[in-house]
């Protein structure tokens, strides 16, 4: 391949947790002499290592990675900020090589880079505070009814049992005087690169077995001790995630250790299922079984570039 004739292309690897995305990304990065952009939102945080399956030292040394343990759990970091940071990084990387790699299972973060996010105006933080107080005092149903009155379209589409989503929609409605739905699916800024998206898959039984084995390895490698150090900060958003949340319950006497581990496995399997549902919506993804020979994947990528 003659790099001088190739348009900037971002090869993105997606799929459920524990499917082998990291290993494939390193092989592709070495093949195309590329860096790797990580868009796994759990791996951004310095303090979270074992429970987020951060690439190990050998993997990090095998290719240059970006957005791995680059911020602290004490910092606020949004998907919108990641979109800006990742696009800026890609601009500099494309100056060196027209082919770059991105990898991760965080569907919203992948979409932010490849497609762009919907734009919402800034609204007063006081609105969210008031809504959160109403949630505590009157319950979720009160907010649901308010959303139904202000924005029936959003009410009929979003997951109504998710207080975060209901509150977010309401604060936009109240803060702007417009419906939340009026800001959705507007034209996005075009990207200055082509996109090739590779998806890895496996039979459910195989994937679930890989997940169970990974959790067992995390426990052996010290996940309980890592979570114990972070327990005092459990209210931070970064720590309200699978692997830590269950162990916090163990530390507080709500779970036995064995039950906490079984819950981590169960909740990780549920997470993998949600990842699969998210990515299967995109008909442009090229899907491969996780055991597919890498040369076959490389060949298909080259045909797309």
For position 249, what pLDDT does the model report? 98
43 & 97 share domain: yes
Domain-ending residue, one of 165, 183, 201: 183
Beta sheet of 194-201, edge-to-edge order = 65-66, 36-38, 99-103, 9-14, 194-201, 286-289
pLDDT tens-place string over residues 25-47: 999 999 999 999 999 999 999 99
163 & 63 share domain: no
Q: Is 177 among the annotated ligand-binding positions?
A: no
Q: Is 17 among the annotated ligand-binding positions?
A: yes
Quote the number of domains for the chain: 2
- Is the CB of residue 239 less than 8 Å from the CB of residue 73? yes
38 & 79 share domain: yes
154 & 246 share domain: no
15 & 106 share domain: yes
26 & 99 share domain: yes
204 & 143 share domain: no
Task: Compute the half-sphere exposure of residue 161: CA atoms within 13 Å on the CB side of its CA.
Answer: 0
194 & 56 share domain: yes
132 & 79 share domain: no
92 & 113 share domain: yes
The dihedrals phi and psi of 9, each to the nearest 5 degrees, come to -135, 130
Nearest to 104 by CA among 79, 71, 76, 81: 79
For position 6, what pLDDT does the model report? 82
Question: What is the rounded average pLDDT of the residues 43-58?
Answer: 96
Q: Is 20 among the annotated ligand-binding positions?
A: yes
Q: Is 292 among the annotated ligand-binding positions?
A: no
Nearest to 238 by CA among 72, 111, 5: 72
For position 186, what pLDDT does the model report? 81
Q: Is 21 among the annotated ligand-binding positions?
A: yes
pLDDT tens-place string over residues 244-257: 999 999 999 999 99
Domain housing 39: 3-117+188-304
Q: Is 9 among the annotated ligand-binding positions?
A: no
CATH of the domain at 175: 1.10.20.140
């Amino acid at each position: 391949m003659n790099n001088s004739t190739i348009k900037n292309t971002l090869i993105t690897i997606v799929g459920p947790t524990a499917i082998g995305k990291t290993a494939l990304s390193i092989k592709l990065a070495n093949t195309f002499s590329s860096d790797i952009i990580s868009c796994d939102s759990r791996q951004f945080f310095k303090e979270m290592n074992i429970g987020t399956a951060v690439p190990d030292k050998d993997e990090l040394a095998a290719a240059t990675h970006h957005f791995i343990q680059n911020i602290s759990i004490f910092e606020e970091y949004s998907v919108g900020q990641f979109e800006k940071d990742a696009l800026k990084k890609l601009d500099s990387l494309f100056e060196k090589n027209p082919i770059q790699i991105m990898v991760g299972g965080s569907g919203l973060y992948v979409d932010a880079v490849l497609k762009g996010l919907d734009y919402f105006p800034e609204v007063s933080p006081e609105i969210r505070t008031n809504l959160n107080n109403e949630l505590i005092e009157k319950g979720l149903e009160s907010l649901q009814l308010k959303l139904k009155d202000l924005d029936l379209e959003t009410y009929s589409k979003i997951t109504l049992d998710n207080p975060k989503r209901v509150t977010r929609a309401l604060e936009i409605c109240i803060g702007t005087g417009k419906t939340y739905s009026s800001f959705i699916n507007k034209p996005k800024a075009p990207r200055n690169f082509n996109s090739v998206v590779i998806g890895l898959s496996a039979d459910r039984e195989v994937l679930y077995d890989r997940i169970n084995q990974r959790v067992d390895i995390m426990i052996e490698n010290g996940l309980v001790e890592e979570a114990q150090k972070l327990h005092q900060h459990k209210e931070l958003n970064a720590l309200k995630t699978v692997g830590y949340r269950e162990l916090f319950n163990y530390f507080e006497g709500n779970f036995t250790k064995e039950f906490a581990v079984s819950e981590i496995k169960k909740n990780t399997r549920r997470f993998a299922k949600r990842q699969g549902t998210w990515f299967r919506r995109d008909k442009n993804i090229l899907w491969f079984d996780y055991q597919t020979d890498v040369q076959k994947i490389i060949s298909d990528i080259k045909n797309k570039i």
